[in-house]
Amino acid sequence: MSLVACIIFLNFVIADAGASYEKINANVDANIMNAKAILIAEADLLRPTWAKSKLKYPKYIIKRTIES
């Protein structure tokens, strides 16, 4: 009986790990793009003002989000 209970518990643990993996895997591209955007913004803050030109910087920034 104890062996059957351990197998059932292990099955629940594996199912929960699989569900967590699917949730993370569904948003991996969005998370990578968000991390890249944060790093670009951080690098831009370190750039001196004399090195910035109006041609390289747009007047507006459009941010799109995915509704879940």
Please report, in tens digits, the pLDDT of each residue of the chain (68 residues total): 899 999 999 999 999 999 998 888 888 888 898 899 899 888 888 888 887 777 777 777 777 887 76
Contact present, 11 and 47 (Cβ < 8 Å): no
Domain with 18 in it: 2-51
Residue 66 placed within a domain: no
Position 13 in a domain = yes
In a domain, 59, yes or no: no
Number of domains in the chain: 1
Contacts with 66 (C-beta within 8 Å, 6 or more apart), sequence order: 30
Q: In this predicted structure, what is the pLDDT of residue 60?
A: 78
Residue 27: C-alpha distances to residues 19, 23, 57 (Å):
13, 7, 28
Predicted pLDDT at 12: 93
Nearest to 25 by CA among 37, 35, 17: 17
